Amino acid sequence: MLRRHIAPWVKRNQNAIPLRQALDLAQAGYELVRRARPNDHRPAVAGGWPVRLVPFPPPQPFTRHERRELRRAASSQSTSFFDGASVRRFEAELAARWGSRHALALSSGTASLHTAMMACGIGPGDEVIVPALTYVATALAVMQAGAKPVFVDADPSNWNIDPHLLEAAITPRTKAVIPVHIGGVACGMTAILAIAAKHDLWVVEDAAHAHGSTWNGQSLGTIGDIGCFSFGSPKSITTGEGGALLTDDPELYRRARMAMNLGECTPEGQPSLDLIFFEPETRLDYVMVGWNYRMSTAQAAIGLGQLARFDAIRRARSTSGAYLREHLARIPGLKPQEVTPGCDPCYYTFPFEVQGDASLSRGELLAGLAAERVDYRLWSNKALPSYAVFGGAGDFPVADRLCRNGIGFRVDPRIGRPELEAMVFATRRLLGAGRPGAAGASR
């Protein structure tokens, strides 16, 4: 096989040219030969040559911008939130870029959700509406506050919480709703905001997937009362771990600032984290139960580097998502996640569903993609209410179906046109061939 001849050449020459460049050259040569073969329609699982000779390049989220900010933070000898100029700069730049009056840097996305619950005064006896299709942290943050998550099924078009089912889930104990913008695509915010206003509910946006996404020109995470962000490793902005909370409401900001720092404030109720320095006579008070959810100086420094080049990050993710939407929509048996009207998404990953009329099941397609050396991402294995921690009960047919049949493709900036073409070609080839030996399968 061609790989046997190229791999030794790459090994001999990897010191002369960068390894990634050598791998890309090897992939390009391999592809020329593969495409010239008469049976290029045959998938790897059926004995054909895989689409990729080498794996996809791994994500590489950090560049000279992040390294520069880390050196700057290290030179300043700042070690904590209190003396960390990087943290204050990061918060200021987040607020400016997203168009919010206040931004708080926190230790994780989960911390931002829990802080939001505390700022809204949500506690034991309260209920919060949560989508059935989301990451477990969304509902766990509600339980951390002592409240009960009430689940609502997904909209089959955009995978987000279904606004048509929202009002039926509201009770006298309901205090908030958490719309989650899955994949970076906006929820049906017009309906959600109207229902929340009618029933006097807080709207806490979970924008963990939605950095840079907009709806009617407004940044997701700034539309409700509070927006919560995650900066975990796969996100569009990453600090390794970390999160943020955005709000325009000064009282929500004040309470959130105290809640993320052990409930600490001055006797006048000013959060201690807003103090530039402590004078000898400074006195502190603790008026609420809070937690230590402060972001570190190193995390903030990395975040500043990410923000410095976020326009390029957003452009790469949006361009890749648009390419996949155009080409995957043409493959029979696949249905990409639909974009809510008015939304301009910056994709976290690109979600699509393997439908019942596809020639392969999702499991068969995943096995085929692995054989083709094509990366993919999976959503939750099952709808959130099905897990034991939430009682394992309820009927959520859309969320269940999307969990069984959903796949995500990478759109991070390390993914270029060759990788995008490989995703589309491999998927089309696999679904076109169908099951080996099945009637109508390609030979």
pLDDT digits (tens, 9 = 90+) for 315-341: 999 999 999 999 999 999 999 999 999
294-315 pLDDT tens trace? 999 999 999 999 999 999 999 9
DSSP sequence for 93-109: HHHHHHT-SEEEEESBH
DSSP 427: H
What is the predicted pLDDT for the residue at 440? 40
| DSSP code, position 384 | G
DSSP designation for 220: T
Q: Are 194 and 219 in contact (CB under 8 A)?
A: no
Q: Tell me, what's the pLDDT at 79? A: 64
Q: What is the pLDDT of residue 149?
A: 97
Predicted confidence (pLDDT) per residue in 360-395, tens digit:
999 999 999 999 999 999 877 789 999 999 988 789
Q: Which of 266-270, 371-375, 430-434 has the highest mean pLDDT?
A: 371-375
Structure tokens at 271: 């959060």
pLDDT, average across residues 397-418: 95
Instruction: Collect all residues with Cβ–Cβ distance below 8 Å to 150 and sequence separation of at least 6.
Output: 127, 128, 129, 130, 169, 171, 174
Residue 296 is encoded by which pair of tokens? 């570190």
- Distance between CA atoms of 5 and 33, rounded to whole angstroms? 13
Each residue's pLDDT tens digit, 161-219: 999 999 999 999 999 999 999 999 999 999 999 999 999 999 999 999 999 999 999 99
Burial class (CB in 10 A: 0-12, 13-18, 19+), 309: middle
Whats the size of the chain, residue-wise? 443
Query: What are the φ/ψ torsions at residue 293 (nearest 5 degrees)?
Result: -115, 25
Question: Mean pLDDT throughout 128-138?
Answer: 97
Give the pLDDT of residue 112.
Answer: 98
- Report the mean per-residue pLDDT for the chain: 90
pLDDT exceeds cutoff 70 at 17:
no
If one compares 124 and 15, the residue with the highest pLDDT of the two is 124
Q: How confident is the model at residue 6 (pLDDT cuts 50, 70, 90)?
A: low
Q: Is the pLDDT of residue 247 over 70?
A: yes
What pLDDT score was predicted for residue 234? 86
Domains of the chain and any CATH numbers: 64-308 (3.40.640.10)
Query: Pairing mode, if any, of strands 406-409 and 350-354?
Result: antiparallel
Dist CA 49 CA 132 (whole Å): 40
Percent of residues, the chain, with pLDDT higher than 70:
92
pLDDT at 5: 52
